[in-house]
């Protein structure tokens, strides 16, 4: 074997010539060279069948043959095999241009001219086989690449349709499924599930535990096979959608929602840890005019605010969401557009009828929405944290007002103005320092200002709230607990806070003269407050009977429509100058 043939010794070579002498000659030559798989054929009509049975690497093909010429055979093979046609070297005595050209056109790789020069024959065969090998390697690579691309495309297609963590169908599939079911006129209930407590779980136990909990949860929901669940999908990590093919009825919606809540909120065992997820569920039913996206959105709109609850969609929810959104936008511009002002409600001394101070209450008059109640816009401002700037504005206005009143000598040195301080304000770490500084900058004694905070406002971060209140109290500001009796209502914990005033909520006061229990509660609160040396303000006093009872119980100040609603500055100042000693509440008792 020579170096030439060593690489290709196992190449399958087919020699086709109607002259057996030529076939014999070439086969001997090739076998002597070391080629081990050489076959000779003198009948060109058998070539096709042979190629079919086993495709050779190379055919040495005579041109001039009876019944079918080499060129015709070549044409036939090319037609049948296309790119897979074996390499062909044409054997010819004819060397005219036309034949060569035709052979090349039909795909022949090379020519060998009779009579054969052995060295040339071997070299050309070697070259052709080498070229062939290169080509086939390239083709294999191309095939491999193509199959890789196909596989990857298939994977991407799956990925683009599923949540990577739980492998549940994603948003795309959820919408597609709704559209599909709706086109089949199926009735659908869509459950939009907000999973709560996941971040906490991640922070506490690690995000790995959180991921495993989500996967376990997806399995548990999928096991609810008695429910008509058509699809459980992931809208976003902690928002899931369940589609149920069922008639749209409140009873069914409730049944399914409660089952879902039960399963989702049950304790989960993850790596020997017992963890649990909370959930809220909004539900919408299908209707002809809603498309898939709208159905999911309606269910999302219906999400209740409180965990472990469900709520069905109804148009008023959507309307209130819109109103909230529009109010929120309008509120941002309210300060700059001069739409806000303060009213002042007197706090009247039970014994003398003197106005000891006022509570500043915010009012908003918008050109589009008219007068918007603080009960509506304050929660909106609290939800988007705009309350912090709004609260600062209120404080600045209130301080400017006291400065004015003191300058006019309309109020004495003990007169206080109370402002409502929202939880978000108290949670600003530098709130106390800013407030003390602002009061002093205004040239006012700190006792002129009182802050009203609610118990729930303190509960968000008790240590921080404590620090702030202690700084404020140490600087001399008054601190009132607002709406007392509606929150956590523990006088015991209040004794650890530097509180100076308890404001008894209107709900107790309003029922007091008809409800014995409210009366007992109010009197207990006043007693205990006195014990801790807090002063007491009763809110929402509207009736003389309420006033008389409160006076008897030892309440210090009264704030309510009985004496005055929240008032404009000038009217309020007039009442400060006259006091209420001449009103029936005092003259009749």
Question: Known catalytic residues?
Answer: 539
Distance from C-alpha of 188 to C-alpha of 229, rounded to nearest angstrom: 10
Q: State in angstroms the smallest separation of the CB of 522 from Ca ion.
A: 14
Q: State in angstroms the smallest separation of the CB of 475 from Ca ion.
A: 21
Indicate the residue among 90 and 541 with the shorter CB distance to ligand C2E.
Answer: 541
Per DSSP, helices labelled H in 166-249 are 171-183, 198-205, 207-222
Indicate the residue among 233 and 391 with the shorter CB distance to ligand C2E.
Answer: 391
Indicate the residue among 266 and 383 with the shorter CB distance to ligand C2E.
Answer: 383
Indicate the residue among 163 and 452 with the shorter CB distance to Ca ion.
Answer: 452
Distance from C-alpha of 172 to C-alpha of 445, rounded to nearest angstrom: 63
Distance from C-alpha of 297 to C-alpha of 313, rounded to nearest angstrom: 10
Write out the DSSP string of 507-519.
HHHHHTTT-HHHH
Distance from C-alpha of 148 to C-alpha of 159, rounded to nearest angstrom: 16
Q: How many helices (H) and strands (E) does the chain have?
A: 24, 21
Q: Work out whether the CA dihedral 402, 405, 410, 412 comes out positive or negative.
A: positive
Q: State in angstroms the smallest separation of the CB of 422 from ligand C2E.
A: 4
CA distance readout (Å), 342 to 269, 334, 338, 492? 55, 13, 12, 34
Distance from C-alpha of 283 to C-alpha of 242, rounded to nearest angstrom: 10
Indicate the residue among 241 and 509 with the shorter CB distance to Ca ion.
Answer: 509
Q: State in angstroms the smallest separation of the CB of 518 from Ca ion.
A: 16
239-245 and 188-196 beta bridge pairing: antiparallel
Indicate the residue among 40 and 560 with the shorter CB distance to ligand C2E.
Answer: 560
Residue 566, contacted partner among Ca ion, ligand C2E, none, CB below 5-8 A by kind = ligand C2E
Residue 56, contacted partner among Ca ion, ligand C2E, none, CB below 5-8 A by kind = none
Residue 362, contacted partner among Ca ion, ligand C2E, none, CB below 5-8 A by kind = ligand C2E
| Tokens at 473, concatenated | 């109290």
Q: State in angstroms the smallest separation of the CB of 553 from ligand C2E.
A: 18
Residue 394, contacted partner among ligand C2E, Ca ion, none, CB below 5-8 A by kind = ligand C2E
Residue 560, contacted partner among Ca ion, ligand C2E, none, CB below 5-8 A by kind = ligand C2E
What is the CA angle 117-119-123, rounded to 5? 115
- Per-residue DSSP letter, 60: E
Helix axes 171-183, 292-301, angle to 10 degrees: 110
| Cβ atoms 342, 570 nearer than 8 A | no
Distance from C-alpha of 513 to C-alpha of 548, rounded to nearest angstrom: 10
Q: State in angstroms the smallest separation of the CB of 192 from Ca ion.
A: 36
Closest among 121, 56, 119, 42 to 87, alpha carbons compared: 56
Binding site for Ca ion (CB under 5 A): 420, 452, 482-483, 539
Q: State in angstroms the smallest separation of the CB of 415 from ligand C2E.
A: 19
Binding site for ligand C2E (CB under 6 A): 345, 361-362, 373-375, 378, 391, 394, 420, 422, 452, 482-483, 506, 539-542, 559-561, 566
With a CB cutoff of 8 Å and minimum separation 6, the contacts of 134 are none
Residue 17, contacted partner among ligand C2E, Ca ion, none, CB below 5-8 A by kind = none
Indicate the residue among 99 and 423 with the shorter CB distance to ligand C2E.
Answer: 423
């Amino acid at each position: 074997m020579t170096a030439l043939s060593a690489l290709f010794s196992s190449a399958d070579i087919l020699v086709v010539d109607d002259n057996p002498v030529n076939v014999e000659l070439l086969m001997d030559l090739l076998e002597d060279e070391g080629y081990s798989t050489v076959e000779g054929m003198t009948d060109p009509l058998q070539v096709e069948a042979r190629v079919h049975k086993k495709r050779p690497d190379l055919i040495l093909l005579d041109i001039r043959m009876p019944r079918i010429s080499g060129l015709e055979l070549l044409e036939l093979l090319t037609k049948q095999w296309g790119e897979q046609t074996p390499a062909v070297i044409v054997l010819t005595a004819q060397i005219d241009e036309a034949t060569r050209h035709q052979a090349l056109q039909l795909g022949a790789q090379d020519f060998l001219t009779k009579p054969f020069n052995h060295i040339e024959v071997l070299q050309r065969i070697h070259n052709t086989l080498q070229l062939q090998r290169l080509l086939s390697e390239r083709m294999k690579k191309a095939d491999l690449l193509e199959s890789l691309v196909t596989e990857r495309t298939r994977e991407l297609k799956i990925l683009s349709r599923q949540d990577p963590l739980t492998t549940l169908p994603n948003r795309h599939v959820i919408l597609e499924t709704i559209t599909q079911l709706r086109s089949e006129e199926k009735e659908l209930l869509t459950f939009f599930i907000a999973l709560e407590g996941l971040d906490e779980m991640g922070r506490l136990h690690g995000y790995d535990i959180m991921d495993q909990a989500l996967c376990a949860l997806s399995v548990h929901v999928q096991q609810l096979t008695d429910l008509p669940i058509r699809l459980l999908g992931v809208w976003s990590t902690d928002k899931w959608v369940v589609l149920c093919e069922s008639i749209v009825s409140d009873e069914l919606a409730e049944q399914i929602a409660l089952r879902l809540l039960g399963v989702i909120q049950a304790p989960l065992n993850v790596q020997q840890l017992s963890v649990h997820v909370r959930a809220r569920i909004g539900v919408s039913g299908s209707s002809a005019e809603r498309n898939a996206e709208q159905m999911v959105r309606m269910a999302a709109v219906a999400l209740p605010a409180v965990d472990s609850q469900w709520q069905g969609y109804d148009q008023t929810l959507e309307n209130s969401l819109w109103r909230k959104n529009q109010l929120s936008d309008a509120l941002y511009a309210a300060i700059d557009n001069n739409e806000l002002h303060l009213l002042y409600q007197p706090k009247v001394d039970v014994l003398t009828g003197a106005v000891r101070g006022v509570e500043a209450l915010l009012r908003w008059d918008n050109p589009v929405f008219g007068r918007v109640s603080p009960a509506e816009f304050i929660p909106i401002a609290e939800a988007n944290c705009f309350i912090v700037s709004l609260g600062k504005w209120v404080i600045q206005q209130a301080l400017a007002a006291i400065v004015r009143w003191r300058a006019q000598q309309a109020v004495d040195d003990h007169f206080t103005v109370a402002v409502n301080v929202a939880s978000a304000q108290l949670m600003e770490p530098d709130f106390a320092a800013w407030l003390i500084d602002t009061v002093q900058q205004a040239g006012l004694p700190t006792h002129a200002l009182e802050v009203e905070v609610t118990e729930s406002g303190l509960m968000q971060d008790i240590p921080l709230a404590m620090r702030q209140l202690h700084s404020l109290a140490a600087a001399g500001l008054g601190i009132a607990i607002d709406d007392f009796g509606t929150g956590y209502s523990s006088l015991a914990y209040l004794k650890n806070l530097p509180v100076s005033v308890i404001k008894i909520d209107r709900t107790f006061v309003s029922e007091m003269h008809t409800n014995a229990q409210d009366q007992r509660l109010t009197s207990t609160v006043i007693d205990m407050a006195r014990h801790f040396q807090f002063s007491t303000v009763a809110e929402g006093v509207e009736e003389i009977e309420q006033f008389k009872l409160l006076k008897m119980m030892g309440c210090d100040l009264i704030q309510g429509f009985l004496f005055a609603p929240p008032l404009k500055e000038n009217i309020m100042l007039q009442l400060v100058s006259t006091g209420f000693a001449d009103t029936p509440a005092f003259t009749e008792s």
